[in-house]
Amino acid sequence: MNYYYLVSSLPMISFSQADSLNLTLDAFLELCRENLTDKDMKILENAELTGDIDACPSRVVREFRSWDINLRNAILNRRGSSQVVAEYKREEKEFFSEVESLIQEASSKANPLEREMFLDELRIRKIDELSAQNRFDIEFLCAFKLKLIFISKYRKLSASLGEEKFNLLVSDIIKNSNLME
């Protein structure tokens, strides 16, 4: 089914506009509940970043998950010891040759936040690539939801919240080290 009005009312999603995006994931899902068929709403609800690839009814989500597993495994190979890699590596159903060079480029970022943002921007670009042929259908909405999940994660970041959490961690470490003495 096509959802011309719903899709045309959605904002464009890009990393450069993350701070100014006024649509939350909850608001998007509520808007979709009001406009989608029950069948399509179930497909959208299953559009998640993780899960069983084969069980997902959305082509865009299945293909993205497959690519993302390759990306995550490549990150794991670069960062982890062989024991850690063996424990956490996930089965790859396909091979994506570009992933290794993307990981190498991400590794050149000195700042961990910049590196994480670079990887998430790559993920959003891949979602855009996979959904390029879908404009007003459920596949587009699934892709939109995935991109919104990535963008939403950066809305929660703030210097004051980070400092607060850091101080809590340090106080916990000090408290626990005093208990061990």
Q: Where are the domains of the chain?
A: 4-180
Query: Mind listing the pLDDT tens digit for each residue in 91-128?
Result: 888 889 999 999 999 999 999 989 999 999 999 999 99
pLDDT at 8 over 80: yes
Q: What percent of the chain has pLDDT over 70?
A: 97
CA distance linking residue 168 with residue 132, whole number of Å: 44
Q: How far is CA 55 from CA 58, 114, 135, 144, in A?
A: 9, 33, 23, 20
Helix axes 59-79, 112-130, angle to 10 degrees: 150
Query: Mind listing the pLDDT tens digit for each residue in 132-174?
Result: 999 999 999 999 999 999 998 887 667 787 788 888 888 888 8
CA angle 76, 53, 38 (to 5 degrees): 135
Q: What's residue 175's pLDDT?
A: 83
CA distance linking residue 131 with residue 141, whole number of Å: 9
Q: What's residue 18's pLDDT?
A: 74
CA distance linking residue 117 with residue 94, whole number of Å: 25
Mean pLDDT of the residues in the chain:
90
